[in-house]
Amino acid sequence: MREIYTPDGIKWQYLHGVPDPSLVSPDAYEHDAALLARPGQAEIQLDLISDYGSNIALYPAFQAYFRDSQVPLLATWGAHDAIFVPAGALAFQRDLPEAEVHLLPTGHFALETHASRIAALIRDFLARSLTS
């Protein structure tokens, strides 16, 4: 996992699955690389990843909440995200059949390439959801 926090690994997270890498500002991954290069930061990130299993243990409670509440849900997701794969977004619809899932033609950091589209989806979703 340490490789993911190297400058090349960080750049990969931003560019993998992005059809046009020129849409991603190098400032984004260079800034992250600089922040993660600070002493102790790689270890903090590795601790977070090693604890991810505790999130999975909570999934049944989240799923029960979704089934019981039928809360409105919007998921905008990179269709080519190799970190949080699209099946994760589509899974919301098992418990929330009305969930809106938009798989955008991009990778993990969808806002880097689709900020305007995501903002429009959020505005539309909120306009409909807050009036219901």
As a whole number, the mean pLDDT across the chain is 95
User: What's the mean pLDDT in 101-120?
Assistant: 98
Residue 7 has pLDDT above 90, yes or no: yes
Domains in the chain, ordered, with CATH? 2-129 (3.40.50.1820)
> Looking at the whole model, is its pTM more than 0.85?
yes
Q: pLDDT digits over 74-93, tens only?
A: 999 999 999 999 999 999 99
Tell me which residues are annotated as active site: 108
DSSP string, the chain: -GGGGSHHHHHHHHHTT-S-GGGS-HHHHHHHHHHHTSTTHHHHHHHHHHTTHHHHHHHHHHHHHHHHH----EEEEETT-SSS-HHHHHTHHHH-TT-EEEEESS-S-HHHHHHHHHHHHHHHHHHHHTT-
| pLDDT at residue 80, rounded to an integer | 98
Q: pLDDT digits over 25-60, tens only?
A: 999 999 999 999 999 998 898 898 888 889 899 999
